[in-house]
Structure 1
């Protein structure tokens, strides 16, 4: 094998490693170691902005984008459905938000898309915990994920229907925290596959994506637009990088290099220019911010921002 082939193979291995540790915080112990049915029927959603004729707020219809797997209209729909009561977050639309964000990352290319596999595993853990709790509401939930994976579920439509109607222990962020604390499945000293710990990893990644989209929406007063690669790198360094090892931080640089240019994002959300992109992304960022802030408070109130 030539030098170039060896280098290419090494990069692939490194990126796969990055994908597996991206949400894990890069902690040393990793060396050793159902809510799927959410449906949002209405695919036309209102996007509010302050660019009306008289400067007043007015609605714009945000339609589906033909030919795209990722749909910003669905992302916004799930985000707007997630906040509940005065400070809670419904897990069903929260996880569906991540389903759409995974499609967003996968659209950016295979190197960035590698990260989405770890996110899928995290959302799957919470969904399986929810299903287990629904089938055995009085059972003690153990920290071993293998026992969760062994649960027998009903097939297809029935399973999705049950999940979509779930209002039990894993109905919301606050209910999950309360139940898992009461059942003693959250360990503040060592790793477990609790829903709370899993949520924390997703929560950290959500801040990274929020900041990236916020930066992508910015229109510079003077000078050039910065590349999405540069913006994503900057967002990463101020968020997820704080929880990653030196090796993961340096491997992340390879993924950022492969990011597409700004014009790709116009096509991804079906807009013609930066102004239209900014309008849509600012609304998405606002909705992410509401969900993030509520989740942050719930985790902080229960001392869960640094679960191992």
Structure 2
């Protein structure tokens, strides 16, 4: 075997290992819509008229992209559904948002797509826990914990009515946290496969993707647009790299080298230029930011930002 062939094999091995370590392990489960109250529609997302960062209006409708597995309109729909009522994040649309983000990563090529496999395993853990809770209703929350879904004083009657229609330990981020604390399955000293620990790993990865898309939406600096590879590496270094070992960080660098050029992202979201890409991505970043901030607050309030 030649030197080049050996190097190629080594890179593949490193990336496979990265995929297994990216979010520190997981299980491979499958779940068919075990949570209720959220209807996934593969329709173009109706965007409200609003101004982007540069003051320009975002197009009212994000149409689907023909021939693309990843659909930015579907991602925004799921993200908005996850924040359907105040102060919480609904888990089913949250996980559906991750399904779409996995498609986004897989569209970037096999090297980057390897990372998505571990994210899929994390979403599967929460889905399996939700399925188990649904099969064992006697293990569900008591009425005090269910009340988390109706604590929205500032949200008004409409949100309270909507919240009261949704119950269950794994219905939302806050209900899951309260349920697992109540059941004693969250360990603050040792690794357990709790939904809260799994959510924290997804939460950290979401910040990485949010920052990457935010940077990808930036306007040129001194007439130069930096490469997606450079931007993704920079976003990683300021987020997930803080939680990874030296070996995983080095393997991640290899994955980012294979990142496609900027023109690929134009095609991926069906836009013609950087200006249009910025408008679309700014809307995505805004939606991700709302989900991230609510999750961050819930985890922080319960001392879960450093679960082992």
Give TM class, smaller chain: 0.7 to 0.9
Query: Which residue of structure 1 lines up, in the alignment, with residue 193 of structure 2?
Result: 193
Quote the Cα distance in structure 2 between the aligned partners of 1:187 and 1:276: 46
Contact 2:58 2:280 (C-alpha < 8 Å) held by counterparts: no
Deviation at 1:223, TM superposition (A): 2.7
Deviations 1:184-227 (A, max 9, x none): 00011111110000000000000000000000000124231000
2:51 maps to which residue? Answer: 50
Q: Which residue of 2 aligns with 1:226?
A: 226
What secondary structure is seen at the aligned counterpart in 1 of 2:252? helix
Alpha-carbon distance in 1 for matches of 2:50, 2:278: 10
Q: In the alignment, which residue of structure 2 is the partner of 1:161?
A: none
Q: How does 1:144-155 map to 2 (within 5 A)?
A: none
Work out whether residues 35 and 92 of structure 1, in 8 Å CA contact, stay in contact via their aligned partners in 2: no
> How many residue pairs end up in the alignment?
275
Gaps of 5+ in 2: 142-164
Q: 2: CA distance between counterparts of 1:277 and 1:301? A: 36
Matches within 5 A, 1:147-296: 167-296=167-296
Post-superposition shift, 1:20?
A: 1.0
Provide the rounded CA distance (Å) in 1 between the counterparts of 2:222 and 2:281: 21
SS, match of residue 137 in structure 2: coil
**1:134 matched residue in structure 2:** 134
Q: Does the C-alpha gap of structure 1 residues 264 and 89 become closer, same or farther in structure 2, counting only changes over 3 Å? A: same
Between 81-90 and 11-20, the greater mean CA deviation after superposition: 81-90
CA contact (8 A) 1:44 1:63 kept: yes
Deviation at 1:10, TM superposition (A): 1.0
Query: CA separation in 2, counterparts of 1:259 and 1:56?
Result: 29
Could you state the TM-score of these two structures normalised by the residue count of structure 2? 0.85
Q: Check 1:50–1:137 CA distance in 2 against 1; reply closer, same or farther (3 A cut).
A: same
CA displacement at 1:40 relative to structure 2 = 2.5
Per-residue displacement from partner, 1:71-111 (whole Å, max 9, x unpaired)? 00000000011014321000010000000000000000000
RMSD: 2.1
The Cα of 1:59 is off from its aligned counterpart by 5.5
| Partner residue in 2 for 1:73 | 73
Normalising by structure 1, report the TM-score. 0.85
Mapped pair 1:92 → 2:62: no
Map 1:107-146 to 2 at 5 A: 107-139=107-139
Distance in 2 (CA, whole Å) between partners of 1:42 and 1:266 is 21
**Alignment check: 8 A CA contact 1:212 1:235 kept:** yes
Is contact 2:140–2:179 with CA below 8 Å preserved after alignment? no
In 1, the alpha carbon distance for the partners of 2:127 and 2:270 equals: 31
Query: 1:64 deviation in Å?
Result: 0.6
The answer to whether the Cα contact below 8 Å between 2:72 and 2:269 also exists between their aligned partners in 1 is yes
- SS of equivalent to 1:40: coil
CA 1:255/1:56 → structure 2, altered by over 3 Å: closer, same or farther?
closer
Q: Does 1:8 align with 2:30?
A: no
- The answer as to whether partners of 1:49 and 1:279 remain within 8 angstroms in 2 is no
Contact 2:89-2:173 at 8 Å conserved across structures: yes
